[in-house]
Structure 1
């Protein structure tokens, strides 16, 4: 493609990006509707029994009936392949909310036929064993799923008794102790541990035991703990399924009039969309905002205007956490994925916010303090293996609490760029810590780069790869972070050499995975998406012109035929697929910007960071 054609396409896309900004000047994005969220939401409302919710429940019910897949099952999004977990939840919701409807019986039969193809029969013991086997030792999702099936009357008493008891009483320990115990759920699912655990304890008929007496005594204080974890919005982590699971279980445990339930149900009511569906979460506004700023890079002000940049800067500074977080005890100064109150600070969004603020940096004391404090928070999250986890240091028992490559690469980029921007003005003790942190992070990335050059991401996958993983996404993300790090002068020579070797391997991997039509999917031969193709082009920009031009040709053709169709490559709350409207737009723009306007501007430090 000619350079003029690329410039023209960038103008079209940046115009769209500006139109996506909300009235406050940042980007909210739009998450895909979720069959799983819709099913859990209407069950929670139905169990509550408020006649005023009848219309909400009915519209959710009809949305489920209208969005069943051709094979009779349900996927996590309307564009997702069917899976057993979501199909079972939708089955139970349809059964519980309107099983007498003639049309409902037809849909129930369709789901039963789909489940039969996966070896799942109507025998409830078969359902229980299959779900527990699929999720293994991680009860974050399996036990809430089975509990909802029991609440809806899909599981018989014997199958219900086989659902593992969650140790909700351990939630009464200080949060800093959680990592030393096997809570059987991931760090961010403590509300489910409490709500679902109390439901199982309260409704299972078991013989007298001291452990049962102890658990009974722990119910009231655990509910008080749950109340302390609840954000102002009423949505735990702003997540519809998590909030719905907790609410349905508390109601079934005799806690219908608890304030947690009242606020949680209000949250669910507010999240319903006009088409009858619910999304997986309120939004990913901080994440898509920092992605948009990164996509435009040095072109940010020329595209959006000076006033827009000022609003973006003020917004990010405003939403930095300034106190100890009540949900997980996290220290101040991190950023979460959204500006809403249910958000929790995490490594990826903190690195993204630091980089975005550095891109817009004017040298004020407020900016400097926010960035330095963010660096300190992020450095404190590093695990002993050198990698960075999402939320909590030291939680390594379950996969979604472990270190991962894309978060680690993002942290490296944030540290290097901040050190380059502040130069010798950065506090000496912090600089020493960051240099040590960078060496350990590089060691982690080197250790976990596969022999073929790829890295695997944690929170992103591809439904069409054999293992559902997405090495193309992970490799492109890490490669971009490391290549941007090399553009900074502060990088030590030995670290520069180490990163350079990893980048070469990563580039060769990405080149080997390009499809004949010029696209990239989750791997060689996997259908391409705008997101994976654009990210791969960004990672290979300038040095690999032929591969990139072929990628741009595919992107242009895809845009003409399907506009900016988002793909369900994101993973949420254990293993729930989602797609985000903003992803194809911002990644396409980033690929164009890196090709048309390569490099990162790093002016001399205008102010002291001390």
Structure 2
């Protein structure tokens, strides 16, 4: 990379304009903080989730036992007091009306109102209409859906979409079989009997589903065994004998909210499957139904998950630098030193985040204490990405307020660090939930999660001076970072990019999002250029990534590998130019990753300048709050989160403003 000492000159970045945009962005983000001090956010409504919830409620209602009273009146054993049958019919009508409005021009449905059609969601919507028996009011709607599914290859096309991972393919086909759309022979026979074995054995059993999908394994497996039992007498015997034990497992791991993972699709698949085999009155189904009824939205839709409150809050406080003063207009560090005092609002959020840390072994995955989940609700499961985000947020607090909650924060941080260290896979990468599963998506090591862990480990090692104060733990961290770094280097594509796991782009041929992945890895590895702890990375690895990232910037100044918001953008701004192919989320992340390199190369400096101007344009036009469907949930399920663009824009504009200030100061000093 060519040296350019001047880098971003004082005139390259419009400091006052960036300051104004940053102030606007942070004001918008601050307004999203609720009375409990939490940045709960709002996930997009999901046609897929809505379809599965409707199917589950319809099957539960159809199979529940009715009680006959002495006076001759009949009511439903457990819908009474929750929702009467006529109210449920009204809900079905409303929800199906929501789905009808979401159908795309090609006849299919996508996972959000910004998403292209996919075969999975379309098949599930078809099943929902069939199971409710509510006639479609829109002429030709289901006919067009059937044609879309046919063009996409039907059952074969669905299986091609998921490959050998049966986590989602089996439930979708089971849902369709329950609706009479496909024969049960098309549904894979899942070895649910294995769930009767000790939990610690799961990762060694070669299960055809990922670690978080044990409820689906049991429920779908039992439904398939009930409706289409195996011909093998030994297997049939084993499965018959294990039915009750595996149902007990489901009851044991079901969270207090009733929602497995707080996820509508997973909970719905469990409810519909068990209801169809005579378990409609079981506690698992009852609690699952109550979860679904409690989480439906006013328009009859459901999101994929209740919320991402912990994930959003960790990232939001880092973007805001823990500054909750609405009138604060600066961009540099504030209230530093031993006499610094946080506000009550900041303490409220800190205490909430500390309380979210898992304090005991998790019954669902067997995870030990020390990690954080994406939500504070009972269905959350600790994972590496959310734990890293919380650790970074706590690190920022400790820098600002070293004497406030010092012992509690250090204790939480050390537990989180150790939790991540224990999770690391043998290949050096970080999985999401469980160490050693490794074969299927969302269990194997991934670049974005590994990069996040590296950042949290490095931050706390330096902040706590572990090399001096705790040599054994420091040695573990150094070994973990070294191994994780080598994993990332091996995962880099020949052109310099990295593909992430938890974020994607539905318009890409492989549905990946290398802008997100490359940005996250650069943020983790770039400090290694200045590291005195032996974590050095070959500069060619980083330069290749920087050049790739700058090279995919659009002429308008933004990033977004494909038209992630075409449906909405075209509808609202039909004459808009290249801005339509960009997203606030991807642009903000790319600019943040490139900022440290702007002082070394004129081309990168220009790229950063254009990216910052694009973000400022977005803020000034009030469109920095428009999300893109880049969230990649379990099993290729897309979502968007309304806080993502606000968080990412605030974080990047703060850093850009700081850089502009430094450039101006340096320029003034040079003239003296």
**The two structures share one fold, judged by TM-score above 0.5:** yes
Higher helix share: 1
Cα deviation, 1:274-306, whole Å, max 9, x if unaligned, reads 111000000111111111122223756757962
1:547 aligns with 2:607: yes
Question: Which segment drifts farther, 529-538 or 551-560?
Answer: 551-560
* Partner-residue secondary structure (3-state), 1:571: strand
**2:206 — aligned with what?**
182
* Partner-residue secondary structure (3-state), 1:495: coil
Counterparts of 1:288 and 1:194, CA distance in 2? 32
Q: 1:254: how far off?
A: 0.6
Q: 1:451: how far off?
A: 2.1
TM score, norm. by length of structure 2: 0.84
Structure 1 segments unaligned to the other structure (5+ residues): 121-126, 600-610
* Partner-residue secondary structure (3-state), 2:638: strand
Counterparts of 1:197 and 1:226, CA distance in 2? 13
Residue from 485, 492, 500 that aligns with 1:442: 485
TM score, norm. by length of structure 1: 0.92
State the structure with bigger RCO (CA 8 A, min sep 6), 1 or 2: 2
Instruction: Report the number of matched residues.
Output: 584
Counterparts of 2:224 and 2:629, CA distance in 1? 33
1:117 aligns with 2:190: no
1:464 aligns with 2:504: no
**1:604 — aligned with what?**
none
Question: Which segment drifts farther, 503-512 or 471-480?
Answer: 503-512
Cα 1:278–1:202 change in 2 (3 A) is same
**2:652 — aligned with what?**
591
Cα 1:257–1:399 change in 2 (3 A) is same
Q: 1:545: how far off?
A: 2.8
Counterparts of 2:481 and 2:526, CA distance in 1? 15
Larger radius of gyration: 2
Q: 1:481: how far off?
A: 2.5
* Partner-residue secondary structure (3-state), 1:108: helix
Query: What are the equivalent positions in structure 2 for 1:427-438 lying under 5 Å apart?
Result: 427-438=470-481
Structure 2 segments unaligned to the other structure (5+ residues): 1-12, 62-78, 80-84, 335-341, 564-577, 599-603, 661-672
Q: 1:370: how far off?
A: 0.5
Residue from 280, 285, 306 that aligns with 2:343: 306
Query: What are the equivalent positions in structure 2 for 1:57-456 lying under 5 Å apart?
Result: 57-99=92-134, 101=135, 103=137, 106-118=140-152, 120=153, 127-155=154-182, 159-207=183-231, 209-297=233-321, 306-361=343-398, 362-363=402-403, 364-424=406-466, 426-456=469-499
Question: Cα RMSD (Å) of the superposition?
Answer: 2.1
Q: 1:151: how far off?
A: 0.7
Counterparts of 2:582 and 2:233, CA distance in 1? 57
Residue from 90, 96, 100 that aligns with 1:55: 90
**1:27 — aligned with what?**
39
Cα deviation, 1:488-537, whole Å, max 9, x if unaligned, reads x6x41x423x1654332221111111111111113799921111111101
* Partner-residue secondary structure (3-state), 1:474: helix
Counterparts of 2:299 and 2:527, CA distance in 1? 42
Counterparts of 2:519 and 2:156, CA distance in 1? 38
Contact 1:413/1:484 (8 A) holds in 2: no
Counterparts of 2:492 and 2:635, CA distance in 1? 23
Residue from 484, 492, 495 that aligns with 2:535: 495
Contact 1:309/1:360 (8 A) holds in 2: no
1:505 aligns with 2:548: no
1:519 aligns with 2:546: no
Q: 1:557: how far off?
A: 3.4
Contact 2:17/2:616 (8 A) holds in 1: no
